[in-house]
Amino acid sequence: MLRIWETARSEWHHPQLPRPVISTDGSGIFPFDNYRISVREEDLRDPLYLESLFEHLILHYILCPRSLEVAGELALSALKGIKRNDTNFARTIVNIFSDIVIDSFRLERSEYDEQKVILLWRRIAESAESDLDMAVLSFIEKYWSADICGAAETEETRILLQIFAPGVREKSLWRRQCQQMAMVLSPLAPGSLGKEEVRSLEILRGNARSAPLAGLASELEPEEYIRCLDVLGIRGDLKRWYRDQGYRIEIVASRSSRSDTYPTGTSRWRFDDPPSELDVNYSLSMSPRLVPGVTTYRRDRESCGMTPGRSDVPDLLVVLDSSRSMDGHRRGSRTFYATLAAFKAAQFAYEQGAEIAAINFSERFLVQPWCRDLDAVEDVLIEYLCGRTNIPGSRILELVKERKGCLILCITDTGIQNLYTQWDYLKEASSLGRFVLFCIDEKGRDRYVLEALGSLGRVYYINTPEDLISLVVETTEDAYGDAPV
């Protein structure tokens, strides 16, 4: 069986895929544990079918969907096409569409490949059990001009032929074709086709949970994003939605390079050379008399760059407003931009080796004390408390006293209702750390409040929430830039 697997790999230039992990319980079924398929004992007597099955499996990982990002795009298209919240049916559509793409590609390759593809689909047709299965098989027969099972032509068959008329080689058409196919097949009951899990390299290698889906997350609201991940068999949540979007935001710490010189050899010292370069001791060791240009020597030196020296890394305290006026977790809201900026700043500080603390406040507040646990910090930042804006100045001061000189990033609007009762705490905290305040909604600001806030440290007044992310990025880059040693 493994010999046939290697033969199938060789047909596609030996892609870097793990060897199947085969187990058996004596029942005549051989599960490939890592690929989530099973081979029956009778299949072993037909090497051509087995080779075709393995090639079909391999092409899922090297052609369609191949990556988790493409699989997510197809899942989104399928959900839009069926127009209902049925992630299992959407998964079926994604798998059927991927099957059509890869085997259409194989079919055009050679007559021998066509023979293997037809053999595989004849076996698949033996277990067809629903109207959806028969509609797909009927379409495939007409599309490939192949004799598979003699399924009757239906209205769905004719529409699918129009959808796939441009072919499957153009990847830019995949999303539209998948969505249109989902619309056509959505009234039909699913059967045996497309029941397996969605296949991608990230899922195969076990790192789907950490693989970024920045393109998908940046298009969708949180609920839509979580449904797409459910189609892929991955647990999605609000925290991952923010994390994935953060991959498109880059923070670069400026590094001050250093250079130094070192001796490399000797050369003649001449009259036009600086006197300070004359190596008297070395010259006298070579001759008892100093004759310029004859017995006088100097040391040659070369310069080289050195690894930038690091200054002390400041710890980071993130103070985030999640009051009602911040509008909640949806694309384009104040909460969205504030939380995304806070996530990115915390992730970068963590990568630089800093300890992080977080306060999420409204009428009540949540606190994560100083730690190196990024998940715990993000759990606090992600909460939406949806009350009035009461800043916990005393708690901020307590955390700052524990890490004097820390960077304090406070993101809020200008409607802090208890500002004057907490003023002394905030003032003392700003004197112990580097206080940076980001005030959203400049239009609603109060002149007297602004004069007071300006004495705390650096204050940014933001008209449009989109500017918040770039300002937080600039502040973080500045704070974690390496000072020369």
Please check whether residue 388 is in contact with residue 362, taking contact to mean a CB–CB distance below 8 angstroms.
yes
Confidence of residue 67 (pLDDT cuts 50, 70, 90): very high
In a domain, 349, yes or no: yes
What is the domain count for the chain? 4
In a domain, 426, yes or no: yes
In a domain, 253, yes or no: no
**End position of a domain, from candidates 40, 62, 84:** 62
Percent of the chain at pLDDT exceeding 70: 93
Q: What is the pLDDT of residues 337-371, one digit of tens each?
A: 999 999 999 999 999 999 999 999 999 999 999 99
Same domain, 423 and 465: yes
pLDDT over 70 at 326, yes or no: yes
Percent of the chain at pLDDT exceeding 90: 64
Same domain, 234 and 179: yes
What average pLDDT does the structure give for the chain? 89
Q: How far apart are CA 398 and CA 317, in angstroms?
A: 11
CB atoms within 10 A of CB 213: 29
The CA distances from residue 148 to 70, 110, 118, 143, 220, in Å, are: 29, 18, 7, 11, 40
Same domain, 80 and 95: yes
Per-residue pLDDT, averaged over 203-208, amounts to 89
Q: What is the pTM of this model?
A: 0.81
Same domain, 226 and 268: no
**End position of a domain, from candidates 41, 62, 83:** 62
CATH number at residue 448: 3.40.50.410
Q: How far apart are CA 148 and CA 135, in angstroms?
A: 13
Per-residue pLDDT, averaged over 210-230, amounts to 92
Same domain, 54 and 82: no
Same domain, 58 and 74: no
Per-residue pLDDT, averaged over 201-218, amounts to 89
Confidence of residue 217 (pLDDT cuts 50, 70, 90): very high
Confidence of residue 266 (pLDDT cuts 50, 70, 90): confident
User: What pLDDT is attached to residue 29?
Assistant: 73
Confidence of residue 160 (pLDDT cuts 50, 70, 90): very high
User: What pLDDT is attached to residue 279?
Assistant: 87
Domain region containing 167: 68-243
Please check whether residue 52 is in contact with residue 117, taking contact to mean a CB–CB distance below 8 angstroms.
yes
Confidence of residue 21 (pLDDT cuts 50, 70, 90): confident
pLDDT over 60 at 483, yes or no: no
Confidence of residue 406 (pLDDT cuts 50, 70, 90): very high
Q: Which two tokens stand for residue 454?
A: 């300006």
Per-residue pLDDT, averaged over 283-310, amounts to 78
Please check whether residue 438 is in contact with residue 460, taking contact to mean a CB–CB distance below 8 angstroms.
yes
Per-residue pLDDT, averaged over 268-291, amounts to 86
Beta strand 316-321 pairing with 407-413? parallel
| Residue 430 buriedness (CB in 10 A; 0-12 / 13-18 / 19+) | buried
| 445 half-sphere exposure, CB direction, 13 A CA radius | 21
Q: How far apart are CA 22 and CA 39, in angstroms?
A: 10
Confidence of residue 484 (pLDDT cuts 50, 70, 90): very low
Same domain, 37 and 73: no
User: What pLDDT is attached to residue 170?
Assistant: 94
AA letter at 209: R
In a domain, 248, yes or no: no
Name the one residue in this structure whose structure tokens are 């009350």: 387
In a domain, 293, yes or no: yes
Same domain, 93 and 208: yes
Provide, for the chain, the percentages of residues in helix, strand and coil under a 3-state DSSP scheme, each rounded to the nearest 5. 50, 15, 40
Please check whether residue 457 is in contact with residue 430, taking contact to mean a CB–CB distance below 8 angstroms.
yes
pLDDT over 90 at 433, yes or no: yes
In a domain, 252, yes or no: no
In a domain, 311, yes or no: no
Q: Which two tokens stand for residue 232?
A: 């892929």
Name the one residue in this structure whose structure tokens are 């060897």: 19
Count Cβ neighbours within 10 Å for each residue of 94-122 and write b for 16 or more, e otherwise: bbbbbbbbbbbbbbeeeeebbebbbbbbe
Same domain, 331 and 298: no
Q: How far apart are CA 409 and CA 475, in angstroms?
A: 9
CB atoms within 10 A of CB 17: 18
pLDDT over 60 at 310, yes or no: no
pLDDT over 70 at 109, yes or no: yes
In a domain, 484, yes or no: no
Same domain, 106 and 46: no
Confidence of residue 426 (pLDDT cuts 50, 70, 90): very high
Q: What is the pLDDT of residues 78-106, one digit of tens each?
A: 999 998 889 999 999 999 999 999 999 99
Q: Which two tokens stand for residue 370?
A: 């100083």
Confidence of residue 159 (pLDDT cuts 50, 70, 90): very high
Same domain, 72 and 57: no
Same domain, 395 and 445: yes
291 Cα distance to chain centroid: 70
Q: What is the pLDDT of residues 447-471, one digit of tens each?
A: 666 677 778 889 898 888 889 999 9
**End position of a domain, from candidates 243, 274, 297:** 243
- Residue, of 301 and 163, whose pLDDT is higher: 163
User: What pLDDT is attached to residue 256?
Assistant: 54
The CA distances from residue 462 to 24, 332, 437, in Å, are: 63, 14, 11
